[in-house]
Amino acid sequence: MTTVLPKYVAVIGAGAAGLVAAHELRREGHEVVVFERGNKVGGTWVYNPTTESDPLGIDPARTVVHSSLYASLRTNLPREAMGFREYPFVAKNGAHRDPRRFPGHGEVLEYLNDYTTEFGLGELVRFGAEVRRVGLEGGKWKVRSTACGEPLDEVYDAVVVCNGHHTEPRIAEIPGNILIYALRHGQDFKSTATITVFLSHFEIKDIAGVAKEVHIASRSVTDGTMGKLPGHDNMWLHSMIESAHGDGTVVFRDGSAICADVILHCTGYKYHFAFLDVNDSVTVDDNRVGPLYKQVFPPLLAPLLSFVGLPWKVVPFPLCELQSKWIAGVLSGRVSLPSSDEMMADVEAFYRTLDASGIPKHYTHNIGDSQFEYNDWLATECGCPPSEEWRKQMYSETSKNRKVRPETYRDEWDDELLVAQAHEDFANCSS
């Protein structure tokens, strides 16, 4: 018979990761408080039409706008694959509901609200409570938070960090540029010529529809692919930017130049844990959060400090669900961890594999190619079934479809059979 030892756990953030962590921790018998600096659950999916006053994110005292969603955003994953394993993301009827397979962002927020209601998670969340400091004192975690400007110090057995990683901008260093970072509408670009540096989430076609010219600078561009983009009258592909000047001149590495009104950085975000005071037991170095055993536990502080949702290029909700189950089980003693030396050796071996494959440090948490292997490892640790075959195949089919039909993959697909298999599974899940 397993001895379950409940812990008093602070979860930082009430986005998808914090919600599923809270659910899994409570299910395992732990007592949970979720700190949320905003006034709603949903994190990234709480759309905010305002943009930050300091688009470079340099001023630490700036007012932070957490979500980087733009108005027209639709999911880039089909809802069947995107949802939690134990709470399928199925279409629902209702005035505010979006039944599409790749719905708009509002539908994802509705789904997370449904999840919160279904499992009664709202009562665990302290809204308007920002965590300012997390430090170890006498073997316990002292958590300092502020609500309405009032500081509050409390003691917890364990802390689970779920603060998201799409808020702190990672900016390309270009001397003397003019730029806009946070965008909400493609219309923000009316009649301007635009430069973009590396493509990531933003739908460039939204901008191209209204801007005069769009010039895309990309690291991956080879000589043969430069020039006007096929099918677009006002989009050009270039090599990386060499320099930008006050008069708007932008010079590319191949020596060509154009005149731009705006430089848009699509260079991603940085992991950021300003509240962590743990004497370098875990640090962020060139966007590597480490050392972390299997992307979750810092060996020196395991299992009482953990991180949910760091991996990227993945299907985040089910991955966070499995990480949360693992943390909950480890904290109660139902699931065991290796010794801290063994965990450290595992991390070092992982870093050596990355080095040997020429993968840069800032790709440490890009586990896209091995995400299902990773999920299945977590599932085995937790004693639950591996990822559904249909989910793996659907992810792969969607990736292929996105390449073949970049403009229309959200509305045209060929994986109906997988959709049917998913729904069969969902029916079994609810029966």
By CB under 6 A, name the binding residues for ligand FAD: 12-18, 35-38, 43-45, 66, 68-69, 73, 75-77, 82, 130-131, 162-164, 166, 201, 275, 309, 316-317
CB of 345 to ligand FAD, least distance (A): 28
Q: 28 or 36, CB closer to ligand FAD?
A: 36
Q: 15 or 213, CB closer to ligand FAD?
A: 15
Q: 144 or 334, CB closer to ligand FAD?
A: 144
Round the CA-based radius of gyration of the chain to a whole number and report it. 22
CB of 24 to ligand FAD, least distance (A): 13
Other Cβ atoms closer than 10 A to 370 = 13
CB of 133 to ligand FAD, least distance (A): 10
Q: Which tokens hold the place of 92?
A: 């629902």
Contact between 66 and 43 under an 8 Å Cβ cutoff? The reply is yes
CB of 40 to ligand FAD, least distance (A): 8
CB of 193 to ligand FAD, least distance (A): 24
CB of 38 to ligand FAD, least distance (A): 4
CB of 75 to ligand FAD, least distance (A): 3
CA distance 190 to 188: 6
Q: 320 or 418, CB closer to ligand FAD?
A: 320
Strand 227-228 versus strand 235-238 pairing type? antiparallel
CA distance 327 to 253: 47
Q: 351 or 426, CB closer to ligand FAD?
A: 426
CB of 167 to ligand FAD, least distance (A): 7
CB of 159 to ligand FAD, least distance (A): 11
Produce one character per residue of 277-311: b if its CB has 16 or more CB atoms within 10 Å, e if not.
ebeeebeeeebbbbbbbbbbbbbebbbbbbbbbbb
Strand 8-12 versus strand 257-259 pairing type? unpaired
Q: 73 or 221, CB closer to ligand FAD?
A: 73
Q: 131 or 193, CB closer to ligand FAD?
A: 131
CB of 96 to ligand FAD, least distance (A): 19
CB of 308 to ligand FAD, least distance (A): 7
Contact between 284 and 292 under an 8 Å Cβ cutoff? The reply is no
Q: 48 or 192, CB closer to ligand FAD?
A: 48
CA distance 91 to 84: 14
CA nearest neighbour of 132 among 168, 163, 158, 157: 163
Q: 252 or 395, CB closer to ligand FAD?
A: 395
Contact between 271 and 289 under an 8 Å Cβ cutoff? The reply is yes
Q: 107 or 213, CB closer to ligand FAD?
A: 107
Burial of 233 (0-12, 13-18, 19+ CB in 10 A): exposed
Q: 323 or 332, CB closer to ligand FAD?
A: 323
